[in-house]
Amino acid sequence: MKKETDDFQIIGGKKLSGMIQTNTSKNGALGLFCASLLNKQSTTLHDIPRIEEISRIIEIFESIGVKIEWIKHNSVKITPPKKFSLKKIDKNSSSRIRSVLMMIGALIHFEKEFEMPHAGGCKMGQRTIAAHRYGLESLGVKIVTKNSVHEIKYQKLKPADIVLYEASDTATENLLIASALIPGITTLRFTPPNYQVQEVCFFLEKCGVKIEGIGTSTLIIHGVKEINRPIEYYNSEDPTESMMFISAAIITDSILSITRCPIDFLSLELLKLEKMGLKYKQSKTYPAKNGYTRLCDITIYPSKLIALNDKIHPSAYPGINSDNLPFFVPIVTQAVGSTLIHDWMWENRAIYFTELNRLGANIVLADQHRVIIQGPTELKGNEVVCPPALRPAMIVLVAMLGAKGTSILRNVYSINRGYENIAKRLNAIGADITMLNGS
């Protein structure tokens, strides 16, 4: 059996051109998978990316008795068992993804007492489950955290009026899923109306659960007794992938058209770039296959960029998306002046931004949350090991596209977690990436 490819060789400095389509969302797909557990009949999800993170959630689902069938390359049929085998849950796969937490909201409706392994995912500092815990406790669930598992149990579930402890996308999805099968009205306040949260809302509405306030920070869920019918749903596009292509076009000084961009989750990022001097064209909007998400096509043109006077930082939606923030790092290495990027959400992610110094960037780590980037600098090829986090790993690849000479990016599993066939797709628009067999 051929060993899985885990290294890239990139010959940088190549212009990108033509058109590239934004793929569908990893985070949306994971929320849809977890929400599908509520349905006693089969759920068919279309436009699911074939990425490592999806492979992990499938391994977890199959370990507890869920039948998974790929009916097309990106369409999957999910059929629940009569009874979940939660004691057989795949602990190894559970420890590698964060989204396993969102299974709790569904599984409480089928088991009054079970254990859930601790979640994994990107290594970027502390990621507490406080928002999940406090919200679920309000619904009547008791969670006891032990060394390697969370013990979940309850006597009776009840609707509630919940203020989220923090603006967490996954906690909001978890509570949406949990509330869907609690008859009565549950209100969630201070929720981030991010794209993956809206995706779960649209899916639950298709399942017959009425939700008021979609797209706002207050969600009112009218819970139902059961979901017991075949459901078919289309996952929508990933704004962070659109942002990645925007960043790649800028770093390579290219003319590139990016289609199917979820504009409501990119508008502020584009405004910041516009104020830096970016020239781009935006098409009229059109609906995604889910019928709700607004898409457009964006064409990026070569531009002379000037650093912003104010800092660039993420916020819960509608601020700059936390996953989009890292893609400003390679961009501002080519902007005239000094840029402060403040990644306050994660304790350790900003440290990974300094990996671009290996390619010739001028990035100073001010503290564990802030970097100061001087530009413009000429980027040059080098060998770098992927950071153990998806977006920081991807910005190294983006920077290598603009770096003159040959670069080697080692151990690209972090990238394969979230991007499907990314080397092949970038090569189709002019990049020069060779996949090397790991040794």
Please indicate, yes or no, whether residues 162 and 193 belong to a single structural domain of this protein.
Answer: yes
Q: How many domains does the chain have?
A: 2
Same domain, residue pair 171 and 96: yes
The CATH number assigned to the domain holding 121 equals 3.65.10.10
**Contact, 151 vs 183, CB < 8 A?**
no
- Per-residue pLDDT, 129: 83
The predicted structure's pLDDT at residue 345? 86
User: Do 10 and 75 belong to one domain?
Assistant: no
42/12 same-domain check: no
pLDDT of residue 126: 44
Are 286 and 156 contained in the same domain?
Answer: no
Structure tokens at 348: 């350790």
Residue-range definition of the domain harbouring residue 38: 26-234
Task: Give buried/exposed letters for 146-174 (b at 16+ CB in 10 A, else e).
Answer: eeebbebebeebebbebebbebbbbbbbb
What's residue 116's pLDDT? 87
Domain boundary (168, 200, 234) is at 234
Residue where a domain terminates, one of 234, 261, 279: 234
Sheet holding 43-46, edge to edge: 67-72, 75-79, 43-46, 231-234
| Those residues with Cβ within 8 angstroms of residue 228's Cβ, 6 or more apart along the chain or in another chain | 39, 40, 41
Does residue 303 sit in the same domain as residue 327? yes
pLDDT of residue 382: 97
CB of 317 closer than 8 Å to CB of 265: yes
- 86 and 169 both lie in a single domain: yes
Q: How many helices (H) and strands (E) does the chain have?
A: 14, 23
Residues 123 and 188 grouped into a single domain: yes
Question: Do both 427 and 296 map to the same domain?
Answer: yes
Measured CA to CA, the distance from residue 256 to residue 243 in angstroms comes to: 12
Helix (H, G, I), strand (E, B) or coil at 272: helix
Residue 226 and residue 352 in one domain: no
Provide the residue-wise pLDDT of the chain in tens; the chain has 439 residues.
344 558 999 999 999 999 999 999 999 999 999 999 999 999 999 999 999 889 999 999 999 999 999 999 999 999 999 999 999 998 888 877 778 889 999 999 999 999 988 875 444 344 578 899 999 999 999 998 888 888 999 999 999 999 999 999 999 999 999 999 999 999 999 999 999 999 999 999 999 999 999 999 999 999 999 999 999 999 999 999 999 999 999 999 999 999 999 999 999 999 999 999 999 999 999 999 999 999 999 999 999 999 999 999 999 999 999 999 999 999 999 999 999 999 998 878 899 999 999 999 999 999 999 999 999 999 999 999 999 888 999 999 999 999 999 999 999 988 988 888 999 999 999 999 999 875 4
The owner of tokens 């986090």 is: 389
Last residue of some domain: 177, 209, 234? 234
Does 61 lie in the same domain as 17? no
CA 66 to chain centroid: 24
Same domain for 224 and 132? yes
